Amino acid sequence: MEEHASLRPAATDGGTTGREAETTILVLLADPEVRRLGEEIRLEELRLGLHLRARYGALQDRRERAVREGDHAVHQRVCPGKHGQWGRICILDAGHESADPHWGVNAEGQPVAWVGSAPDDD
């Protein structure tokens, strides 16, 4: 028996919707104001990261030691917070978000702090 058209999943559009979404995203990211705000956010995250280094630097040392020594107990209590650009780098203990921002060191070795967490899409 043929099923009613309204019960069938929507037909794919050959990727048109995906291409349109990608084009829209590229246009938004190219906007000068969006770029300016992105740079402002990046600089503020670095400024706050530097400001908090004295407070959290020892935790970075703890994380690096845990990586070298394979200390899984440290890794299990580390925050799952994720930065949109740098990935999962928060080295604070899980549950800190109500009192403190996320804090870690980016790929260039610069301390960075941020609020919120990127989607877990990796």
Phi, psi of 29 (to 5 degrees): -65, -25
Buried b (16+ CB within 10 A) or exposed e, 85-102: ebebbbbbeeeeeeebbb
Q: What is the pLDDT of residue 6?
A: 47
61 in a domain, yes or no? yes
- Residue 111 contacts residue 105 (beta carbons within 8 Å): yes
Q: What is the pLDDT of residue 4?
A: 47
79 in a domain, yes or no? yes
Q: What is the pLDDT of residue 49?
A: 94
Number of domains comprising the chain: 1
Q: What is the pLDDT of residue 12?
A: 57
Q: Specify the length of the chain in residues.
A: 122
Q: Which residues of the chain are under the pLDDT cut of 50? A: 1-9, 11
Domain that holds residue 55: 17-114
1 in a domain, yes or no? no
Q: How many CB atoms lie within 10 A of CB 111?
A: 21
